[in-house]
Every structure is written in structure tokens, then in C-alpha cells.
Amino acid sequence: MFHPATADLSLPSVMHALSDPVRLAIVAQLAAAGSDPCGDVDVDLHKSTISHHYRVLREAGVTVTTVEGRTRIVRLRREDLDTRFPGLLDAVLRAVQN
């Protein structure tokens, strides 16, 4: 799986990944839970559509996916995002809560 290096995170890619309401819901859920098995998002969409949203978030550098047994665990790359774009993730999460 492709995960960009911290230095390669680009603001346009991250903002594009965060521009979709479903992806915002995934990010908010991950921020609250810390990590989730891939597909445990609480949205009513087809599995392939949810996979697409996870891929966009991962390839933009918003999340990291690890394999544990037969399960893919998704986590936010909070430290990496805060290093590259200080305060961005916190501002996005505050906006989602309002």
C-alpha cells in the first residue's frame, strides 16, 4: 500500500481528501476512536465506495493503514499532519463538530 512520506504531504492533496463529507466522517470517527478496522465506518454506502474513500485518505497522507492478521487497521497520521500543516487537522475536526 502506498503511503506518502511526511515530507511529501501536499496541502492540495490533503484538502482534496478532506473535501468530501464521507471522508470527513471517516476522519472524525478515527479521531474519536484512535483507529478502526477498515470498513467499520458508520455510513450507508457500498463497500467498494467506502474502500475508495479510504484509499483517497491514505494516498493523500491523512491516514495510515496497517495489516494485523486478516484485518486492515486505519489510523490518522496526526503527528505527520501536524508537522507539515500545524493546526489544520484540529481546525477541520472543530468544523466537523459544529
| DSSP notation for 44-83 | ---HHHHHHHHHHHHHHTSEEEEEETTEEEEEE-HHHHHH
Residue ranges and CATH numbers for the domains of the chain are 6-97 (1.10.10.10)
Residue 39, Ramachandran bin (φ over 0: left; ψ between -120 and 50: alpha; else beta): left
pLDDT tens string 25-38: 999 989 988 766 66
pTM above 0.85, yes or no: yes
CA dihedral 65, 98, 94, 43 (to 10 degrees): 0
| CA 63 to the chain's CA centroid | 4
Which residue, among 11, 15, 44, has the nearest Cα to 27 in the 3D structure? 15
pLDDT tens string 51-87: 899 999 999 999 999 888 888 889 999 999 999 999 9
What is the separation, in whole angstroms, between the first and last Cα of the chain? 33
Q: State the cell numbers at 22.
A: 464521507
